Chain A
Amino acid sequence: MNVRSKDKIARFAFLLAAMVTILILVLIIFYVLFNGLRVVTFEFLTSPIKEMGKEGGIFPTIISSIYLALLSIIIATPLAVGTAVFLTEYTRENVATKIIRFGANCLAGIPSIIFGLFGFVFFVIYLRFGWSILSGSLTLACMILPTIIRTSEEAIKSVSYTYKEVTYALGGTKLQGIYKIVLPKALPGILTGIILGMGRAIEETAVLIFTAGLSIHIPTSVFSSGRSMAVHFYTLAREGISIEKAFGTAAVLVISILIINSISYFIMYRFMRKYT
């Protein structure tokens, strides 16, 4: 089998793999939207929860989800990117960095229920935050920290060393090298980590039940409990309260994630144009 045909087969195999993935993706999204959109009306989006979720809308859960996702990203991103910069730029490859990286990998595999309990014991009880958006976001931040640290580290490492050397040769400092050329060039990788992290934060249920709680009201402050869309779907579907409303919530969740992802990519490409 000569090289040309091997290349064709490989190319076809990759195309097939991509098609299968896209097909699965479309099927799942279609399944969720098909079941959910029937229920989604303007009134469904804006009215509060009534009758345990059988009637009424999911407005409070939308607000809680936004609070939780944003706050957890705002807390996790600086911590993670700071750690990634520290691990790649300010320490030499020694035993400590290897242990930290290995630990981060293992923590990325710990089930969310354990993070939920950790959050419950540490934030809800020990720090007296009670069931609240704050406890929920802090716990979510701890959970998505390993993912963002690992992706940011890979992105920073992939920036070629010459850019840093040029900066030093021009009399720039190490820090200037980092925030003027290394981080901007590594931004796509870091953004991927953040989006994956946010995706995980939004779809989380077990953690939030133990930390952010199940209150069906709109959270008035960081200290009031709030039920996220995913948790609402969880209670409606699993407690068998109402499958239709559950999938309605899931449909709204899917659409909002698609919007967030597309917006962040749009912003990034506009920003990146300056750098390619």
Chain B
Amino acid sequence: MKYYLEKIIEKIIMLIAFSAISILIIITFFIFKEGCPFLFKNGILNFILSPAWDPSTKEFGIFTMILGSLWVTVGALIFGVPLGISCAIYLAEFADKTIRGVLKPMIELLAGIPSVVYGFIGVMILAPIIRTYLGGPGFSILAAAIILGIMILPTVISISMDSIMALPRTYKEGSIALGATRWQTVKMVLLPAARSGILAGVILGMGRAIGETMAVIMITGNAIKIPFTPLDSVRTMTSNIALEMGYAIGDHRAALFATAVMLFVFIMILNTMVIFVVKRKN
């Protein structure tokens, strides 16, 4: 009898996996179904390369927003990833159990704070500081990078920390037995071994930074022009979609979905680049 139950449960797992995967496929199909007709009608190239976006005069070009997304995402990674990974290393290797027990739930708390709260903090505190001390409108790439960097910290920290802590103790003992210092052990043994976990953390964190809408809308100023300095205001692809989706009809709505398709491609490129860079490193 036990083996029939076994077979049934394995079929159920298969069913679960396929239904979950089919949901992912349905969503992807939904995005492409709404966005692609517009792309084919207007041509992908001039949609991507023309900087003019003015729905009222049917001008749909998202070049400025692609740059905006790139700047903001890279900025968020510069702020979030090194800070996140080093904090994860500290918690996994250097902090003792009680500190870790207290800090981990608190850090994950950051993931639960509504992004609108981050947006407000950005508008009320961060933007004025940037405006007074660094000049420019205050609503800028820098503000978005800092806020998004903070928002992806919990994702990067918890996932990297778990992958470091999940390593078998023998890895660490082996290295220490050779007289390596804690830092050498981390650098030469633990980080390379936990690389796939840390990579997953970075990719999910990057996904979160790209996908963030509410906070970004409030603190980037959403100007539709090509950004030259980190202090310029900029509009990312995600904020463009979120900003205008409530009011978009017909072509305007299709253009926004086309932006979502481009975003999907943009994320795919970024993911492959990150995986490629990490694979080439060792």
Q: How far is the CB of A61 from chain B (nearest CB, A)?
A: 12
Partner of A106, one of B3, B20, B168, B267: B267
State the CA gap A246–B150 with chains docked (Å): 21
Is A265 an interface position by the 8 A CB rule? Answer: yes
Closest residue to B110 on the A side, CB-wise? A25
The answer, yes or no, to whether A154 is at the interface (CB within 8 Å) is yes
Tell me, yes or no, whether B145 is within 8 Å of chain A by CB.
Answer: no
Q: Is the interface of B mostly helix, strand, loop or mixed?
A: helix
Of the candidates A25, A109, A237, the one whose C-beta lies within 8 Å of that of B208 is: A109
Which of B52-60, B82-90, B132-140 is near enough to bind chain A?
B82-90
* Chain B residues near A238 (CB-CB < 8 A): 116
Asked whether A79 lies within 8 Å of B116 as measured between CB atoms, the reply is no
**Distance from B274 Cβ to chain A, minimum over Cβ atoms (Å):** 9
In whole Å, how far is A275's beta carbon from the nearest beta carbon of chain B? Answer: 13
Distance between Cα atoms of A118 and B270 in the complex (Å): 24
Task: Tell me the B169-202 residues at the A interface (CB within 8 Å).
Answer: 181-184, 186-187, 196-197, 200
B102-119 interface (Cβ within 8 A of A): 103-118
Chain A nearest Cβ from B216, distance in angstroms:
9
Interface SS of chain A: helix
The 8 Å CB contact of A192, one of B101, B158, B183, is: B158
Q: Which residues of B contact A233 (CB under 8 A)?
A: 114, 116-117
A25 contacts B112, C-beta separation under 8 Å: no
Chain A residues, CB < 8 A from B264: 106, 110
Which residues of A in the span 104-157 have a Cβ within 8 Å of any Cβ on B? 104-115, 117-118, 121-122, 142, 145-147, 149-151, 154-155, 157
**In the complex the two chains form, is B182's CB within 8 Å of A11's CB?**
yes
Whole-angstrom distance between the alpha carbons of A118 and B23 in the complex?
11
User: Are A189 and B24 touching (Cβ within 8 A)?
Assistant: no
Question: Does B16 touch A at the CB level, under 8 Å?
Answer: yes
- 0 or 1 for each of B27-53: is its CB under 8 Å from A? (1 = yes): 110110000000000000000000000
Q: Is the CB of A199 within 8 A of B111?
A: yes
Give chain A residues whose Cβ lies under 8 Å from the Cβ of B150: 24, 28
A244 at the interface (CB under 8 A from B): no
Of A37-45, A47-55, A219-227, A250-258, the one contacting chain B is A250-258
Is A257 touching B109 in the complex (CB atoms < 8 A)? yes
CB closest chain-A residue, reference B199: A154
8 tightest A-B CB contacts, nearest first:
A82-B16, A109-B207, A86-B17, A199-B111, A17-B86, A257-B112, A10-B183, A158-B166
Can you give 15 contacting A-B residue pairs, CB < 8 Å?
Answer: A3-B181, A13-B86, A21-B87, A21-B153, A21-B157, A22-B106, A32-B113, A103-B28, A107-B27, A107-B28, A151-B159, A154-B163, A159-B166, A189-B163, A199-B108
The chain A residues found within 8 Å of chain B, CB to CB, are: 3-4, 6-7, 10-11, 13-15, 17-18, 20-22, 24-25, 28-29, 31-32, 78-80, 82-83, 85-87, 90, 100, 102-115, 117-118, 121-122, 142, 145-147, 149-151, 154-155, 157-160, 173, 175, 188-189, 192, 195-196, 198-200, 202-203, 205-206, 230, 233-234, 237-238, 250, 253-254, 257-258, 261-262, 265, 269
Given contacts A79-B19, A192-B108, 9 further A-B contacts (CB under 8 A): A18-B86, A28-B121, A32-B117, A83-B21, A109-B210, A112-B211, A150-B200, A196-B154, A196-B158
